Amino acid sequence: MDRHKAVILAMTMLAGGICCTRQADAQTFQTYRCADGTQFIVGFYDDDKRAFLQIDGEPVTLAKRLTVSGARYSGEGITLKIGKAGLITVKHLKRPVTACAVI
């Protein structure tokens, strides 16, 4: 499947929900807006340690990384940090780290 079709499929699943999923495939999706104007959707699946992002119109899979506190995911030039106190930051491309909030 090419990237364009994957993006359309991901957005369709987010907009309409996923039909016929099993209980073991539970997922969590959340949309964030950052101080620098960046907006992204992140998805987590119960049986997967990765984070799945839709950022800048592109799907990106981030691997979970070792961290002292909270959670950190990175890959393809993007780093997502989720602090224990609830602070969310993202750094992507050559942009500086920016704080993000749920919308």
Q: Which residue has the higher pLDDT, 48 or 18?
A: 48
- State the amino acid at position 74 in one-letter form: S
Q: Name the DSSP letter for residue 97.
A: P
Q: Burial code of 70-83, b = ≥16 C-beta within 10 A, e = fewer?
A: ebbbbbeebebbbe
Region 39-44 average pLDDT: 96
What is the distance between the alpha carbons of residues 29 and 94, in angstroms, rounded to a whole number? Answer: 26
> Mind listing the pLDDT tens digit for each residue in 11-24?
555 555 444 444 45
Place of tokens 């050559």: 94
The superfamily in CATH containing domain 3-102 is: C-type lysozyme inhibitor (2.40.128.200)
22's tokens = 């099993």
Structural contact between residues 87 and 25, judged by C-beta atoms closer than 8 angstroms? no
Q: CA 14, CA 88: separation in Å to the nearest integer?
A: 21
pLDDT value, residue 3: 54
Judge contact between 62 and 41, C-beta under 8 A: no
